Homo-oligomer: A and B are copies of this chain.
């Protein structure tokens, strides 16, 4: 007989591994256990089914057990939960829910891809009807049926991570008034506060309400109304609640089998996706991996890594050596009309890891300004202070955000620096970009900072500027200045600055700013060459400042 492989979990990591295993080993016996009813479903599409963006049920399922059998000759067993692993005997114990019986199945190699489960804190009232989590197809139907049948007017989404925000959007699209409650001071953990602020503003414009820096203390229910009691003392009445507080790796099986868990409580694996038991591999949301940028251990519950890890594990199980080099957490999210994307480390991670970094903010048009439809995006670039290596990026905007994050993700993978970004030769025609792509501009701006061609200050330093020793210099047009500026700033429009140098004191710190940072940089360059040495340009300009302090 050939190799016998048992797989636990039939979705992203598990199904991908099964398909790949079959391609490299036609004779292996491959058994795939899935405790739920469905395999190979589109987890990432679930919120959009609730929002009726995806209209057909069968679109949610990429492969059925039957098709998986036909095409890949996989022995798929749904409604079958693996409840125990005997690693010494190389046997798993399986509970067949349909027949309510338990049996054993031996393996040569075992792959765990059980995923992660939604966090459900033991709060009073957490199991009330009308309170949901979203992980799989039955969860999705439950939420959708509830919306279809009871027509809720109001919903509270607890937790503003990717899934929470997607649910919030899709409920709002169904006409439900959504309130988001989040413990942190901003939505979407991988972003920093200043970039998340743009998302807050956009969601508010879509009539979504926020309670940030606040958590849920308890739920109570009377007559189909749920009262959500917040730690701040506030109480919200609502018709339904969706919990999107995060996910926790499914490690019970692994822990029970004595497999090593890691620092972040995920299953520990080496670069071949092998656990502490040489015959057991694990992939996906259940494992922890090395962060490609910081080197620290990380839990990255994303489908791209899960699929790729499944493929790599399959290769290694068959003796083909393949490695997973860690993840950089590249992720993206549609939030109503805007797109939010990140790759690599954010400031929180860089600080945690003691990495000496600098950052720049730029706002560039998605394509040539003279071609219809150009619309600005905000880019935050994080890079090493010593050599300019790109460490992370966050982008929020409308069109073309996905493109720039993917270019930056590729640059990070290649170990590129901001000097390399300056030179990238990206495709330009007016409908797609500018002769200097937003990524080039971000590179120029960052390189100028590092080369000390432009000293900068950041939006969060404005409050602590000692106004008695400094001037705040707004170089925008008189009209822009009138419409709103930083308190106490003086206005000398960039195009008049050469003739008005006498108005700018040489013996003070000069904090220059414009709308996005470009004209401020031009002013900086003039002053720097006219004897001013204590000058600084506001990175990202008034736009970044205003969005972040609002």
Contacts and interface: CB of A to CB of B under 8 A. Distances in A.
A124 interface: no
A364 interface: no
Interface stretch (A108-116, A128-136, A403-411): A403-411
A331 interface: yes
26 contacts: A23-B525, A24-B525, A42-B430, A44-B429, A45-B368, A70-B495, A71-B522, A303-B435, A308-B422, A308-B423, A325-B423, A327-B425, A329-B425, A330-B428, A331-B429, A402-B427, A406-B406, A406-B407, A409-B427, A410-B410, A410-B414, A410-B416, A410-B426, A413-B414, A413-B424, A414-B415
A173 to B, nearest CB: 13
A246 interface: no
Contact of A53 (B325, B329, B371): B371
Contacts of A331: 427-429
A341 interface: yes
A166 B193 CA distance: 43
The 9 closest A-B pairs by CB, nearest first: A414-B414, A332-B427, A26-B529, A403-B403, A303-B435, A59-B370, A70-B495, A410-B410, A402-B432
Secondary structure type dominating chain A contacts: mixed
A470 interface: no
Interface residues of A, number: 86
A442 to B, nearest CB: 13
A402 B427 CA distance: 7
B425 A368 contact: no
Contacts of A423: 308, 324-325, 413
Contacts of A437: 304, 406
Interface string A343-383: 10000000000000000000000001011100000000000
A406 B429 contact: no
A26 B426 contact: no
A80 to B, nearest CB: 24
Nearest to A428: B304
A524 to B, nearest CB: 9
Contacts of A411: 410, 414
A184 interface: no
